[in-house]
């Protein structure tokens, strides 16, 4: 029987401590009504500084991407012109060969 009463007594002590703990937490929460003006201003200032730095970096990245895309387009255009010129020169050469064969001329 003593162990049963000891068990109940221990449980009662645990309940009292838990209630006191809950009261302490709730009291602490009730005492704090939010952030002070100074904390809010410091937080907003830090956010603005970080945002400006990020915005500057993002704009530079976008500018580099545009420059890279333009360079790739110019390169592709120049390659197209080179290929087109070679193709045109080959056609001219083939036409000349055909004309020489028609006329009966040989080199």
Q: What is the DSSP letter of 35?
A: -
Top-confidence residue, 32 or 75: 75
Q: Is the dihedral of CA 71, 72, 78, 81 positive or negative?
A: negative
Average pLDDT over the chain, rounded to whole? 80
How many residues are present in the chain? Answer: 107
Indicate the pTM of the whole model: 0.45
CA–CA gap between residue 75 and residue 63 (Å, rounded): 18
pLDDT band of residue 48 (cuts 50, 70, 90) is: very high
Of residues 41 and 103, more confidently modeled? 41
Question: Residue 89 to residues 38, 86, 94, 95: CA-CA distances in angstroms?
Answer: 77, 5, 9, 10
């Amino acid at each position: 029987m003593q162990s049963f009463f000891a068990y109940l007594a221990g449980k009662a002590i645990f309940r009292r401590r838990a209630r006191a703990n809950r009261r302490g937490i709730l009291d602490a929460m009730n005492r704090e009504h939010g952030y002070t003006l100074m904390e809010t201003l410091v937080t907003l200032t830090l956010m603005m500084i970080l945002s400006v730095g990020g915005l500057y970096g993002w704009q530079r990245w976008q500018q580099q991407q545009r420059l890279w895309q333009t360079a790739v387009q110019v390169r592709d255009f120049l390659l197209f012109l080179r290929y087109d010129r070679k193709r045109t020169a080959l056609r001219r050469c083939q036409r000349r060969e055909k004309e020489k064969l028609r006329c009966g001329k040989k080199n």
